[in-house]
Structure 1
Amino acid sequence: ICTLFTGQTSKEGIFMRYSYEFKRKCVEMYYQGLYPDTPEGIGSTEFHRTIREWVRIEEACGPEALKHKGQNKVWSPEDKYALVVRVLAGESYTAVALSVGISKGMLYQWVRKYKIYGYNGLISKPKGRKSKDPDMKKIGTRAPKKLNESEYEELIRLRAENEVIKKEIALREEKEAAQLKAKKQRSSNNSVKKDTH
Structure 2
Amino acid sequence: MKYSYEYQRNCVELYRQEKWPETPEGAKVKCFHNTIRTWVRIEDACGTEALQHQNQNKIWTTEEKYELVAKILAGASVNATAIAAGIATGLLYQWVRCYRIMEGYQGLVAQRKGRPPKEASMKEKIEPAELTPSEREEMIRLRAENERLRAEIAVVKKRIALREERFAAQLKAKKLHSSKNCVTKGIS
Asked whether the two chains share a fold, i.e. TM above 0.5, the reply is: yes
* TM-score computed with the length of structure 2 as normaliser: 0.59
- Unmatched tracts of structure 2, length 5 or more: 127-188
- Unmatched tracts of structure 1, length 5 or more: 1-15, 143-197
Can you list the C-alpha shifts for 1:6-62, whole angstroms capped at 9, x where unaligned? xxxxxxxxxx22222111011011122222232334322111101011112223333
CA distance in structure 2 between the aligned counterparts of 1:98 and 1:92, rounded to whole angstroms: 10
CA change 1:75–1:97 in 2 (3 A) is: same
Within the candidate set 136, 139, 147, 2:122 is matched to 136
- One-letter code aligned to 1:44: V
CA change 1:100–1:19 in 2 (3 A) is: same
Is contact 1:70–1:102 with CA below 8 Å preserved after alignment? Answer: no
SS across alignment from 1:135: helix
Is contact 1:87–1:96 with CA below 8 Å preserved after alignment? Answer: yes
Give 1:189's aligned residue. Answer: none
- One-letter code aligned to 1:123: V
Give 1:127's aligned residue. Answer: 113
CA change 1:104–1:21 in 2 (3 A) is: same
Q: Does residue 1:43 correspond to 2:28, yes or no?
A: yes
C-alpha RMSD over aligned residues: 2.3
- One-letter code aligned to 2:118: K
Shift of 1:70: 11
- One-letter code aligned to 1:61: C
CA change 1:21–1:79 in 2 (3 A) is: same
Equivalent residues, number:
125
**Residue identity (%):** 55
Give 2:61's aligned residue. Answer: 76
Give 2:4's aligned residue. Answer: 19
Q: Does residue 1:88 correspond to 2:73, yes or no?
A: yes
- One-letter code aligned to 2:123: K
CA distance in structure 2 between the aligned counterparts of 1:31 and 1:112, rounded to whole angstroms: 36
Give 2:16's aligned residue. Answer: 31
Shift of 1:110: 0.4
User: Equivalent residues in 2 for 1:150-169 (5 A)?
Assistant: none
* TM-score computed with the length of structure 1 as normaliser: 0.57
CA distance in structure 1 between the aligned counterparts of 2:56 and 2:78, rounded to whole angstroms: 16
CA change 1:40–1:137 in 2 (3 A) is: farther
- One-letter code aligned to 2:69: V
Can you list the C-alpha shifts for 1:64-91, whole angstroms capped at 9, x where unaligned? 2322359821101111011100111111
